[in-house]
Structure 1
């Protein structure tokens, strides 16, 4: 499958400035995927606040999420994309779901063991956030009641159609996450130094090399900070495109970009 059909998600510790970290991670990832120098990429924002790449990155759809100590960025050539990451934490999951979620979702959460309900709540929440970002509406207009898919969604990291929303597909990655690894360095040098034709997708292929890893699960790496401990991150990505269903999603866990390369807020 050609690189534009892939949706790439990178997750990293938020550091002291989550927005700055997310922007740096997005620029590094876009530069690596497009094989262009980072200096040729810029991040602007649409009127609703959604990030958009300009310069050499124009046309690549992106999304950003900050979630209590972690950031996530998503890049897709298929269509508008949304990503959300959240740290699982204690909350009255069943009561909140009854108040805000679709009744079938609230019932599903209540069927889970008490100790698993918070994680179940966040696995639905991140889907709703990701779908709202892909649609460009956020959670406005009944987004909290918008029905999403009940986990598990299968082991393969692929986009699954969302029956309630035509042309929308969701991926809820699962499995244990490895220790974070350094983010792939962007290409440097003038554009004339690059070979012609489409660049290979550095995030495709088997999980090997510096981006080895599987998708969300318990994090225990100290770089994520003492507020996490052996916490769990819930992650979801949504893409709005008639070609999204069944398309692969590649997830990588990275070390935070260094302050020297972080983008200004």
Structure 2
């Protein structure tokens, strides 16, 4: 289990260390987006670009707008600190999709920094690394959601879930979902390729697909999170005092 840094957004922005990492060990940051809502509202017009502001406005619920805004502010502030530029000057692009060559692959920026961002109502998680990286955070789902979707997983994962007592399945499903989505985001394909690809496991320890290290990330109660790094050679945080 990897313990992320806590990112605190203030009305003045962010004052703290820039993301840094060693080979195969990404820098992870967790944002509690609800306390950051007012600071995010004040900072957004100064830092986010027109497309980010427009996307936030399209979200129907205030809590979702606050979460999206705080997450993207954290991304720009941390990338700006890493690159030594103002957060509003950070250039965000998209790589080509490795599956179809469309313009919807991994998000990217200049300077050799790979990053990934995930948010769900109340929480955002960001990862920065020197190699392709994917991250995901999700709420633990209700039992009915697990029953509806578990059949779409890799057959071995579906069997693992079915073998568990019903009360243990939501947490196990959240583990496998975040591991799988982190890996697929790191690949740049996302969920379009289907949940049946690759076996990452539902148990306490993830199974890394060849060439990737997948690790669970500590998250608030009621959430699950994971990170995947390409060609890491070791699990993120291994030998680091931030690993639990």
- Is 1:62 matched with 2:115? yes
Distance 2:241 2:148 in 1: 29
Choose from 133, 138, 155 the match for 1:86: 138
Partner SS for 1:26: helix
Q: Does 1:3 align with 2:21?
A: yes
* 1:149-164 correspondence runs (5 A): 149-153=201-205, 162=208
Contact 1:93 1:109 (8 Å CA) reproduced: no
Distance 1:49 1:13 in 2: 27
- Report if aligned partners of 2:173, 2:202 keep a CA contact under 8 Å in 1: no
Separation in 2, partners of 1:135, 1:239: 9
1:65 match: secondary structure: strand
User: 1:65 offset after TM fit, Å?
Assistant: 0.9
Change (3 A) 1:233 1:25: same
* Contact 2:140-2:224 at 8 Å conserved across structures: yes
Paired residues of 1:97 and 1:121 also in contact (CA < 8 A): no
Q: Which residue number in structure 2 is paired with residue 212 of structure 1?
A: none
Q: 2:219 aligns with which of 216, 219, 228?
A: 216
Q: Find 1:116's aligned residue among 150, 165, 168.
A: 168
What per-residue deviation string (whole Å, max 9, x for no partner) do you get for residues 130-177 of structure 1?
Answer: 111111111223344431133312xxxxxx762xx321110112xxxx
Which has the bigger relative contact order, CA under 8 A and spacing at least 6?
Answer: 1
2:235 paired with 1:246:
yes
Q: TM-score, normalised by structure 2?
A: 0.65
- 2:73 match: 24
Correspondence for 1:127 among 169, 179, 185: 179
Deviation string, structure 1 residues 183-213 (Cα, Å, up to 9, x no partner): xxxxxxxxxxxxxxxxxxxxxxxxxxxxxxx
Question: Do 1:132 and 1:143's aligned partners in 2 also have CA atoms closer than 8 Å?
Answer: no
User: Where do 5+ consecutive residues of structure 1 fail to align?
Assistant: 154-159, 174-214, 219-231, 253-265
Gaps of 5+ in 2: 1-19, 38-62, 96-102
Between the aligned partners of 2:187 and 2:202, the Cα distance in structure 1 is 20
Q: Mapping of 1:141-152 within 5 angstroms?
A: 141-152=193-204
Moved more, 82-91 or 42-51: 42-51
- Larger helix percent: 2
Q: How many aligned positions are there?
A: 183
Q: What SS is found at the alignment partner of 1:172?
A: strand
Alignment CA distance shift 1:108-1:97 (3 Å): farther
